[in-house]
């Protein structure tokens, strides 16, 4: 189901002055080494379209709805001016942990990638322990398995990681029933680690199913995959669970969309995954949305034209992205027409 939103602008308004950028990452993350993104300026300011390359038009159309919502839709009404953020730790060797976490000044929460294909649980334990040592006993450490574990593997990992006192485990398994089973097994074994759902929200036909099933203690929500700030806030309200607002390795423009979403959530007990500009070797603005004292500003981004030129994707990649926007626009228009939306 694609989200509703503001009336679609003309396709030409999306494409005419758009830019496609390619931003290298400092460390490989979830198989990505260069992050590509489509940027365009709407009446509200700059906005971003950056679904991962493997997503088809049906899934990526929600991301385009978010692009339109942020650039052409109602202006967000933030409740706070800054948002607490976590450091993001790729699946690196334990010895590299301090140098990466120093890129997140003031962040006392670390999200650690685990279950990386080709690595072992021992690698995860060492990396998580290094993160715990860096933030100290008062810091918080969470792990994200991106659906790579089974139920049994999740429980084995949580037992092994227990000395690091996890804040929560994010999307350890693929399905809602498996998440529910993980929660039941955690309670039975007295482990007490909360379970967060990410892919079971942003990639689901029904993003509220996980909450209705009692399969998670909290939700990870992302503005782009959920169709924008307005529909994401609706999901947060209906789910009735605590949330973490996160990013998808966006440019600072996409991160600003996430920051406005986080700032609009009434209660925000967890640090958000919106400090990921620190993962990029370059950005599209001279004032990137980087963590400072453990927080990021809630603000629109002024894009720098020289940086857009410097980070421009090759011509064939630009053409690929423009075709992708056309396909998603057609998908979104069909969905709107079927429901009577403009």
The DSSP call for residue 235 is H
Residue with tokens 């603000």: 299
199: annotated binding-site residue?
no
Q: Are 44 and 66 in contact (CB under 8 A)?
A: no
Which residues are catalytic, by number? 113, 222
> What does the alpha-carbon distance between residue 46 and residue 62 come to, in Å, rounded to a whole number?
18
Q: Is 105 exposed, middle or buried (0-12, 13-18, 19+ CB in 10 A)?
A: middle
144 is an annotated ligand-binding site residue: yes
Lateral strand order in the sheet of 19-29: 19-29, 32-42, 45-49
Give strand ranges (E) for 156-276: 166-170, 195-197, 218-222, 243-246
For residues 17 and 300, give the distance between their C-alpha atoms in angstroms, rounded to a whole number: 19
Strand partners, 48: 39
Query: What are the backbone dihedrals phi and psi of residue 245, each rounded to the nearest 5 degrees, phi first?
Result: -90, 130
Strand-pair partners of 143: 112, 169
Structural Rg of the chain based on CA atoms: 19
> What is the spatial distance between Cα 35 and Cα 50, in angstroms, rounded to a whole number?
9
Percent helix, strand and coil across the chain, each to the nearest 5 = 40, 20, 40
**Does 170 appear as a known binding residue?**
yes
Task: Return the DSSP state at 6.
Answer: S
Angle at the Cα of 182 (from 148 to 113), degrees rounded to 5?
35
Binding-site positions for Mg(2+): 144, 170, 198
Known binding residues are 144, 170, 198
């Amino acid at each position: 189901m694609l989200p509703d939103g503001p009336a679609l602008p003309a396709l030409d308004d999306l494409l005419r002055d758009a830019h496609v950028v390619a931003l290298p990452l400092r460390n490989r993350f979830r198989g990505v080494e260069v992050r590509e993104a489509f940027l365009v300026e709407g009446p509200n300011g700059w906005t971003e379209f950056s679904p991962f390359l493997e997503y088809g038009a049906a899934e990526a159309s929600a991301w385009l709805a978010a692009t339109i919502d942020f650039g052409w839709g109602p202006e967000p009404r933030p409740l706070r001016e800054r948002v607490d953020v976590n450091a993001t730790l790729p699946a690196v060797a334990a010895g590299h942990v301090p140098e990466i976490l120093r890129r997140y000044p003031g962040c006392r929460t670390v999200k650690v990638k685990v279950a990386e294909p080709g690595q072992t649980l021992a690698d995860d334990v060492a990396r998580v322990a290094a993160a715990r040592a860096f933030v100290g006993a008062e810091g918080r450490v969470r792990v994200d398995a991106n659906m790579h574990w089974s139920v049994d593997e999740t429980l084995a990992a949580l037992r092994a990681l227990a000395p690091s006192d996890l804040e929560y485990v994010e999307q350890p398994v693929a399905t809602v029933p498996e998440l529910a089973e993980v929660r039941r097994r955690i309670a039975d074994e007295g482990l007490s680690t909360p379970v967060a759902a990410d892919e079971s929200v942003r990639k689901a036909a029904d993003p509220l199913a996980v909450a209705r099933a009692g399969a998670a203690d909290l939700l990870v929500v992302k503005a782009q995959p959920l169709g924008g700030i307005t529909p994401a806030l609706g999901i947060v309200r209906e789910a009735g669970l605590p949330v973490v607002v996160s990013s998808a390795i966006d440019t600072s423009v996409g991160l600003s969309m996430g920051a406005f979403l986080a700032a609009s959530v009434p209660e925000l007990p967890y640090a958000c995954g919106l400090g990921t500009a620190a993962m990029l070797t370059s950005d599209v603005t001279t004032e990137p949305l980087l963590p400072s004292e453990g927080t990021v500003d809630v603000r629109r981004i002024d894009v720098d034209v020289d940086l857009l030129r410097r980070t421009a994707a090759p011509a064939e990649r630009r053409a690929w992205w423009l075709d992708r926007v056309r396909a998603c626009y057609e998908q979104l228009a069909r969905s709107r027409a079927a429901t009577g939306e403009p």
